[in-house]
Chains A and B, each alone.
Chain A
Amino acid sequence: AQKITQTQPGMFVQEKEAVTLDCTYDTSDQSYGLFWYKQPSSGEMIFLIYQGSYDEQNATEGRYSLNFQKARKSANLVISASQLGDSAMYFCAIGGTSYGKLTFGQGTILTVHP
């Protein structure tokens, strides 16, 4: 079984500052992937970034980076230079080898203040 824990129900950040959203995971799979999705109020799920368990380098996608610490089983999302449009719910998810199913955390609501 896989589990994702997001301990921050809500986070606030000032525009143009960086913010870290926490994610810890548990899995018995040797090979797995970690994902972050953004869900704005419209409800769509927007893929942000992916980290494979065997990737040695932390993933980066534009202003998004994933701070992957395998020994600590954490996969925190770092958003640099926050923008007002970043205000949304953010989900961390883990996918193992079982038919590609993803297990999601409960999410973190990020609010960016001007």
Chain B
Amino acid sequence: SQTIHQWPATLVQPVGSPLSLECTVEGTSNPNLYWYRQAAGRGLQLLFYSVGIGQISSEVPQNLSASRPQDRQFILSSKKLLLSDSGFYLCAWSDRAYGYTFGSGTRLTVV
């Protein structure tokens, strides 16, 4: 069966510090991978998606970047965090059929 792992679960980082969130998928190959962000009490906003190794598409301009160094690994990064980067980050995968499986999420607080 397919599983998705996302870590860490919570993170408190100072403004200006770097960020690295990792997501890995098991039990599938060549999935579509996605990073979403959710502000408190709001809906999910798509940040990045990837259809293959090294292929990254950005949905909104921001202080963040994404990379896909391996087929089942998706990384969200920032060189210098801003206060506005605080939120709940969710990784998800899709096997190109309709439907997603979400990771458990990372609560990022930038202080």
Contact = CB atoms under 8 A, between A and B. Distances in A.
Interface of A: 33, 35, 43-45, 47, 50, 52, 91, 93, 95, 99-107
B44 A52 contact: no
B80 interface: no
A108 to B, nearest CB: 10
A17 B107 CA distance: 34
Interface in B66-111: 88, 90, 92, 94, 96-102, 104-105, 107
B32 A43 contact: no
B51 interface: yes
A71 B92 CA distance: 31
Contact of B32 (A47, A52, A100): A100
A42 to B, nearest CB: 8
Contacts of B43: 91, 104-107
A105 B43 CA distance: 6
Given A43-B107, A99-B32, A105-B43, A50 B98 contact: yes
A100 B90 CA distance: 16
Interface in B15-72: 32, 34, 41-44, 46, 49, 51, 57, 59
A43 B98 contact: no
A3 B10 CA distance: 30
A50 B44 contact: no
A61 to B, nearest CB: 13
A100 B102 contact: no
Given A91-B43, A102-B46, 10 more contacts: A35-B98, A43-B90, A44-B102, A45-B100, A45-B102, A50-B98, A93-B44, A95-B98, A99-B51, A102-B44
